């Protein structure tokens, strides 16, 4: 997994695609939110966000 992020960072650095970083971060946060919403205890807090 570390190698993937190293390659991704190298790609963004060489091609000057730093605008991809916030998009990737938002996608990771949304994925974490979906995984956490599987738990019934967290569900009421997620409803208040949306």
d(CA 12, CA 40): 38
pTM over 0.75? The answer is no
Tell me, what's the pLDDT at 33? 81
Domains of the chain: total: 1
More confident residue, 10 or 47: 10
Burial grade of 12 (CB within 10 A; 0-12, 13-18, 19 or more): middle
Q: What domain range includes position 35?
A: 2-49
pLDDT digits over 5-44, tens only? 899 889 989 999 889 999 999 999 988 887 877 766 766 7
Which residues make Cβ contacts (< 8 Å) with residue 18, sequence separation at least 6? Answer: 12
d(CA 44, CA 33): 12
């Amino acid at each position: 997994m570390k190698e993937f992020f190293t390659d991704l960072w190298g790609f963004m650095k060489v091609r000057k695609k730093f605008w991809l970083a916030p998009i990737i971060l938002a996608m990771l946060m949304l994925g974490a939110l979906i995984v956490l919403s599987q738990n019934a205890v967290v569900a009421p807090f997620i409803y208040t966000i949306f």
